[in-house]
């Protein structure tokens, strides 16, 4: 009887040993921690909230062996310089609108919305089935980055204004916070495009530094405080959030 008990115990021990070895191996696996710099304030629960959810899921799926810590705009680098921070190695990745960087290369606009361009379904079709992702990866590779599409906010509204817009002439001299190629197009109509970080849009409107602003749509615009102004015309200003990771 004792011999049988011993054999049963030996068999149980044989099953436990590999499990213990596996657990020890898992504990010894290296843990990767990245810092993510965002271009958005925490008040934007659509954009910054989606980043937090992404980081949470990555941590859960990897059993905390790969963790990404998100930082809101301005916490470690200025909001319009997050891509630069990835390039120089200050942070590991960023979540931004790459159209903020069209001054460096206008082709960046194709990653984040072209005025009078594709809607969100067409953009995704081009990216994943039309060779767009390969073209963009090559563009970003030249800048030491890996580009990963991270959602699509769709077509944006025309903006909010300090005065009513009744004709094209009313646009002349208008200091308008608008990003991407939409600003380049409106400049042809006399608009003076302004590139302002998201969190500074409403303070700039309050101070009168700018006359109008566009961001994404009513929900996010209200979060920024813009919806107290008039919304009277529609302008082309597509925008999609993107993440860039250092290669």
Domains present along the chain, CATH in parentheses: 32-154+241-246 (3.40.190.170), 160-228 (3.40.190.10)
Residue 227: what pLDDT? 55
51 to each of 54, 122, 133, how far by Cα in Å?
5, 24, 21
Residues 6+ apart with CB under 8 A from 185: 115, 116, 236
**Hey, is 152 helix, strand or coil?**
coil
Tens of pLDDT, residue by residue over 3-12, are 444 333 333 3
Mean pLDDT of 128-151: 93
Calpha distance 245→139 (Å, rounded): 13
Residue 28: what pLDDT? 59
Tens of pLDDT, residue by residue over 24-68, are 445 557 699 999 999 999 988 888 999 999 999 999 999 999 999
What is the residue whose two structure tokens read 């991270």? 150
Residue 61: what pLDDT? 95
Mean pLDDT of 182-196: 90
β-partners of residue 43 are none
Average pLDDT, the chain: 79
Please report how the helices 120-129 and 132-141 are oriented relative to each other, as an axis angle in degrees rounded to 10: 80
Residue 170 banded pLDDT, cuts 50, 70, 90: very high
Give the predicted TM-score (pTM) of the model: 0.74
Worst-scoring range by mean pLDDT, 57-61, 130-134, 154-158? 154-158
Tens of pLDDT, residue by residue over 66-110, are 999 999 999 999 999 999 999 999 999 999 988 888 889 999 989
């Amino acid at each position: 009887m004792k011999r049988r008990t011993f054999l049963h115990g030996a068999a149980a021990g044989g099953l436990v040993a590999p499990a213990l070895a596996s657990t020890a191996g898992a504990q010894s696996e290296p843990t990767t921690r990245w810092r993510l710099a965002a271009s958005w304030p925490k008040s934007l629960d659509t954009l910054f909230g989606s980043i937090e959810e992404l980081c949470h899921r990555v941590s859960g799926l990897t059993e905390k062996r790969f963790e990404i810590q998100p930082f809101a705009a301005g916490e470690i680098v200025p909001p319009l310089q997050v891509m630069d921070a990835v390039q120089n190695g200050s942070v590991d990745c960023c979540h931004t609108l790459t159209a903020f960087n069209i001054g460096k290369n206008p082709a960046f606009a194709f990653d984040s919305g072209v005025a009078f361009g594709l809607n969100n379904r067409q953009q995704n079709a081009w990216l994943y089935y039309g060779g767009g992702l390969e073209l963009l990866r090559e563009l970003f590779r030249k800048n030491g980055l890996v580009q990963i599409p991270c959602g699509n906010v769709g077509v944006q509204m025309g903006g909010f204004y300090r005065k009513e817009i009744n004709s094209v002439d009313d646009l002349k001299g208008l200091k308008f916070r608008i990003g991407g190629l939409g600003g380049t197009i409106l400049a042809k109509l006399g608009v003076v495009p302004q590139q302002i970080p998201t969190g500074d849009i409403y303070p700039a409107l309050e101070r009168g530094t700018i006359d109008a602003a566009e961001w994404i749509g009513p929900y996010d615009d209200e979060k920024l405080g813009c919806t107290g102004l008039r919304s009277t015309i529609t302008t082309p200003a597509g925008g999609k959030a993107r993440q860039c990771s250092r290669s």
